[in-house]
Amino acid sequence: MNTIVIPAGGPAAGPGAVTNLPFFPPLSVEDMGKVVRVPPYLSPDVVQSDLHLAMIRVNRELATYVATQKDAGHAELADVDQETYGDTGELVTLYESAVYHTAKAYLLEKTVDTDLTNDGADNADTAEDAAQDSYRIARQAIAAISDRDSGNVELI
């Protein structure tokens, strides 16, 4: 059985920032708002908490990938060979997308309120669909990072 040890102590966190592992780029609520629409009625603390949970989830899904890259001598995701668009590498962009979309899905699931009216049920269905879309985007980004097929399956 292989044990993967992931050390703590990534980049320093400022206001709204979430301390990440050293291999991954820093994340923040502010940057998240530039990538996905965050409902304005949510407190920054709630958004930061879900961003932290999303980061943990994505980091765990990529743990084997990280170990492989570290064994190849890459100390950070940005060090891995990748296409660069502007100042940002594609793997960094995909990682940020995976985390931010997972966090958005968490937020959407949290904000679905119970309402017995038809309008309330329609709004809940819309939020659930949006959450599933965010999870799908995150899964595709994780698959692209780890060079796996994302495998979309639809029920008929």
- Considering the chain, what is the average pLDDT of its residues? 82
The C-alpha atoms of residue 156 and residue 154 are separated, in whole angstroms, by 6
Q: What is the pLDDT of residues 40-74, one digit of tens each?
A: 888 889 999 999 999 999 999 999 999 999 999 99
Q: How many residues does the chain have?
A: 156
* pLDDT (average), residues 30-41: 89
> Which has more confidence, 4 or 100?
100
* Amino acid 120: pLDDT: 52
pLDDT at 111 exceeding the cut of 60: yes
Global confidence as pTM: 0.79
Q: Give the chain as a 3 state SS string.
A: CCCCCCCCCCCCCCCCEECCCCCCCCEEHHHHHHHCCCCCCCCHHHHHHHHHHHHHHHHHHCHHHHHHHHHCCCCCHHHCCCCEECCEEHHHHHHHHHHHHHHHHHHHHHHCCCCCCHHHHHHHHHHHHHHHHHHHHHHHHHHHHCCCCCCCCCCC
* Amino acid 17: pLDDT: 87
* Amino acid 150: pLDDT: 46
* Amino acid 88: pLDDT: 92
pLDDT at 90 exceeding the cut of 60: yes
Q: Which residue has the tokens 């309008």?
A: 119
